[in-house]
Amino acid sequence: MQIDELIDNFSFFDGWEDKYKYLIELGNKLPHLSDDKKTAEWKVPGCQSQVWIIPHYEKQHIYFEGDSDAIIVRGIIAVVFIIFQDKSAQEILNIDVEEIFDKLGLRDNITQNRRSGMLSMVDKIRYYATQSLGK
Partner 1 sequence: MFNANDIRKDFPALSRLVDGRRNTYMDTAASAQKPLAVLNRIQKMYIEEYANVHRGSYWLSERATENYERARQTVAQFINAKDKREIIFTRNATEGINLVAATWGQYNLKAGDEVLLSRAEHHANLVTWQQWALKTGAILRYFDLAEDGSFIFENFKNALSERTKIVAVTAMSNVLGTLFPVKQISTEAHKVGAKVLIDACQFAVHKKIDVADFDCDFLAFSGHKVYGPTGIGVLYGKYDLLAEMSPYQFGGDMIEHVSYDKTTFALPPARFEAGTPAIVQAVGLGAALEYVMQYDFNDIEAYEKELINYTTDKLSNIPNLKIIGTASDKGGVFSFDIKGIHPQDLAFVLGKEGVAIRTGHFCAEPIVNLLGYNSLARASLGIYTTKEDVDEFINALNKAINFFK
Interface contacts to partner 1, rule CB under 8 A: 16-17, 20, 47-50, 69-73, 108-109, 116
Contacts of 31 by beta carbon, 8 Å cutoff, 6+ apart: 65
The answer to whether 76 is a known catalytic residue is no
Give the active site residue among 47, 59, 96, 135: 47
HSE at residue 51, side-chain half, CA atoms within 13 A, is 29
Query: Smaller CB distance to partner 1: residue 17 or 58?
Result: 17
CB of 55 to partner 1, least distance (A): 23
Report residue 73: phi and psi, to 5°: -65, -40
Query: Smaller CB distance to partner 1: residue 77 or 129?
Result: 77
- CA-to-CA distance for 45 and 61, rounded, in angstroms? 24
Catalytic residue numbers read 47
